[in-house]
């Protein structure tokens, strides 16, 4: 089986998961599953679910720690690794956080790309102007956005572009042009069949001395455990589960690092959030969801990836 051949990942830093991590509402996991599947079955998903307040992409988008603190940390870490401020960047799966575009420009990015399979970013100017104002109060000076009436104008002023689609959408980005690639709790949502094409595109667009910083959440979306490991691929990869917003690809840390390596990256796990004991889930996962036992203790991890020289 695949997990026997995948190289174990050794984190640089281990952090114990706090009690109740990502537990959410105190409702049994199977009730959450039933409700989410039921809503998806009657067409309440995606944009419609967001209108009803039942889905919140990029939760906490207005929180200064997420709005400003996270990208500042990206730029600081990338600057240390690159030896200079990243001039170009790509964020994979930003969701609503496209509204950070003016702030990323204010942090020094001269060319900004976003790619997302769905467009959930605001189209009106207001949220972007509010984000820029928040940035100013924290010392991040966004470009002058006066006269910008909508998202398109603000992205153009910020030297940013939003691509909508799967891995093939990245074809719009020139080879070797990106200094910094980032993602926040996104890669676990990528369909398994899309992982290799995505990794290949990320390798293609990254500059020879570039860096990728990726935070991955390995928990289920049913209460912060491993309940998703009890299902067959036939059910779990079905369109209904996808529409319900609970699909994750069930790849553990070992498999994620292995896929980056196969695509031509050197990988370091800079931090892993570890459960002290295996969280709630099936005693024995479904055969389709089997993976190294050590991976079942990893709640979250942060990866630093660099392109390897091609042989």
List pLDDT tens digits, range 293-304: 999 999 999 999
CA–CA distance, 93 with 117 (Å, rounded to integer): 7
Where does the pLDDT of residue 47 fall: very low under 50, low under 70, confident under 90, or very high at 90 and above? low
What is the average pLDDT value for the chain, to the nearest integer?
Answer: 92
- pLDDT recorded at residue 25: 78
- Give the residue with greater pLDDT, 270 vs 65: 270
What's the pLDDT at 60?
64
Residues 188-226: pLDDT tens digits? 999 999 999 999 999 999 999 999 999 999 999 999 999
| Helix H or strand E segment including 179 | strand 178-184
User: To 10 degrees, what angle do helices 192-205 and 253-262 make?
Assistant: 50
Range with lowest mean pLDDT among 8-12, 30-34, 94-98, 198-202:
8-12
- What tokens appear for 4 in the block? 């026997």
pLDDT at 57 exceeding the cut of 80: no
Q: Kindly state the tokens that stand for 282.
A: 């099936």
Provide the pLDDT for residue 41. 93
Minimum mean pLDDT range among 53-57, 113-117, 229-233: 53-57
pTM of the model: 0.91
Q: Average of pLDDT values for 139-145?
A: 96
Cα separation, 311 vs 298, whole angstroms: 33
Please compute the mean of the pLDDT values over residues 156-178 and round it to a whole number. 98
> Distance between alpha carbon 230 and the CA centroid of its chain, in Å?
24
The enclosing H or E element of 132 equals helix 126-137
Q: Annotate 183-248 with three-state secondary structure.
A: EECCHHHCCHHHHHHHHHHHHHHEEEEEEEEEEEECCCCCCCCCHHHHCCHHHHCCHHHHHCCCCC
Q: Is the pLDDT assigned to residue 138 strictly greater than 60? A: yes
**Phi, then psi, of 95 in degrees rounded to 5:** 60, -130
For the chain, the C-alpha Rg in angstroms (whole number) is 19
| Tokens encoding 279 | 């969280």
* Percent of all residues in the chain with a pLDDT value above 70, rounded to a whole number: 91
The answer to whether the beta carbons of residues 304 and 216 sit under 8 Å apart is no
| Helices and strands (DSSP H and E) totals, the chain | 11, 8
């Amino acid at each position: 089986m695949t997990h026997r051949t995948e190289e174990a990942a050794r984190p640089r830093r281990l952090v114990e998961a706090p009690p109740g991590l990502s537990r959410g509402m105190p409702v049994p996991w199977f009730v959450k599953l039933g409700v989410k599947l039921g809503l998806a079955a009657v067409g309440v998903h995606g944009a419609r679910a967001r209108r009803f307040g039942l889905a919140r992409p990029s939760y906490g988008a207005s929180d200064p720690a997420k709005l400003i603190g996270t990208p500042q940390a990206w730029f600081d870490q990338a600057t240390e690794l690159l030896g200079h401020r990243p001039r170009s960047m790509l964020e994979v799966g930003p969701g609503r956080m496209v509204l950070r575009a003016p702030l990323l420009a204010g942090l020094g990015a001269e060319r900004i790309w976003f790619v997302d399979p769905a467009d959930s970013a605001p189209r009106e100017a207001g949220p972007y102007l509010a984000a820029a104002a928040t940035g100013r109060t924290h010392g991040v000076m966004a470009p002058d956005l006066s006269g910008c009436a909508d998202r398109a104008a603000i992205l153009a002023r910020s030297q940013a572009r939003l691509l909508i689609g799967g891995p093939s959408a990245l074809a719009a980005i020139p080879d070797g042009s990106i200094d910094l690639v980032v993602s926040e709790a996104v890669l676990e949502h990528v369909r398994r069949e899309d992982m290799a094409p995505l990794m290949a595109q990320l390798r293609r667009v990254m500059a020879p001395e570039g860096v990728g910083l990726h935070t991955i959440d390995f928990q289920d979306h049913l209460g912060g455990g491993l309940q998703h490991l009890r299902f067959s691929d036939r059910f779990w990869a079905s369109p209904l589960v996808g529409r319900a917003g609970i699909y994750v690809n069930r790849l553990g840390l070992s498999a994620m690092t292995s896929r980056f390596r196969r695509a031509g990256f050197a990988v370091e796990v800079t931090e892993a959030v570890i459960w002290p004991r295996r969280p709630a889930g099936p005693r024995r996962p479904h055969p389709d969801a089997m993976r190294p036992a050590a991976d079942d203790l990893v709640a979250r991890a942060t990866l630093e990836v660099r392109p390897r020289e091609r042989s």
